[in-house]
Chain A
Amino acid sequence: GAVVSQHPSWVICKSGTSVKIECRSLDFQATTMFWYRQFPKQSLMLMATSNEGSKATYEQGVEKDKFLINHASLTLSTLTVTSAHPEDSSFYICSARDHRGISGYGYTFGSGTRLTVV
């Protein structure tokens, strides 16, 4: 089945530094990838939708200059949290959809990245 690899699984960084999270589709091409954020005990919040070769579409309230998304190839999307602050600490999850649009497979999720900013 479709597999999405997300790295790193967890990261601790100092306030003011930048952190890059990678999301790779291993056995399929993902024209569309989604980035979610999850606060403790809350549901997923969609941050942005990225399409290969074009700019990401950000949800209202998400700072595009702070959360840089790059989807340069059909198998890789990255989320960079720039100038991270403690309030950016969260669980970030990516999701990819098979470009063949076989809806029955649903969406494939990465294992998530727990970011802690100190």
Chain B
Amino acid sequence: GEDVEQSLFLSVREGDSSVINCTYTDSSSTYLYWYKQEPGAGLQLLTYIFSNMDMKQDQRLTVLLNKKDKHLSLRIADTQTGDSAIYFCAVQTDSNYQLIWGAGTKLIIKP
């Protein structure tokens, strides 16, 4: 089955760009999502990308998709303290509505 992997931690300085990476194994993945989870809270959909797209930009967020390498990334420009959270990559295939989740990357902001 599908496997989704992320590194567990990322530390960046306030004001720098953060790049969170995600790899997946199923080439038939159709929709790829990024979710944000703040401590003790539920998940917030940040952005998503369809498999027929290479890039999507939404304000400070840029998603890049490399289908050949099955690699997805989320770039947060001008990282702020409010961006501190765990970021989950989730992948969906056409076969069902379930999402396969990465373990989440904890973004740590240094002053």
- A-side residues, CB < 8 A to B, are 6, 32, 34, 42-44, 46, 49, 91, 93, 95, 97, 103-104, 106-112, 114
Contacts and interface: CB of A to CB of B under 8 A. Distances in A.
Chain B contact-residue range equals 20 to 34
Contacts of B43: 44, 93, 95, 109
A44 B88 contact: yes
Contact of B98 (A34, A43, A93, A104): A34
Tell me what chain B mostly uses at the interface: helix, strand, loop, or mixed.
strand
Interface string B35-53: 1000011111100101000
A49 B97 CA distance: 10
Contacts of B88: 43-44
Nearest to A46: B98
A43 B102 CA distance: 7
Given A34-B98, A43-B103, A97-B97, A103 B42 contact: no
Contacts of A32: 97
Residue from B31, B35, B42 whose CB has the most chain A CB atoms within 10 Å: B42
A106 B31 contact: yes
Contact of B101 (A6, A44, A108): A44
Q: Which 5 A-B residue pairings sit nearest by Cβ, starting from the closest?
A: A111-B42, A112-B42, A109-B43, A43-B103, A106-B45
A42 B97 contact: no
Interface string B47-68: 0101000000000000000000
6 contacts: A43-B88, A49-B98, A93-B42, A103-B92, A106-B31, A111-B42
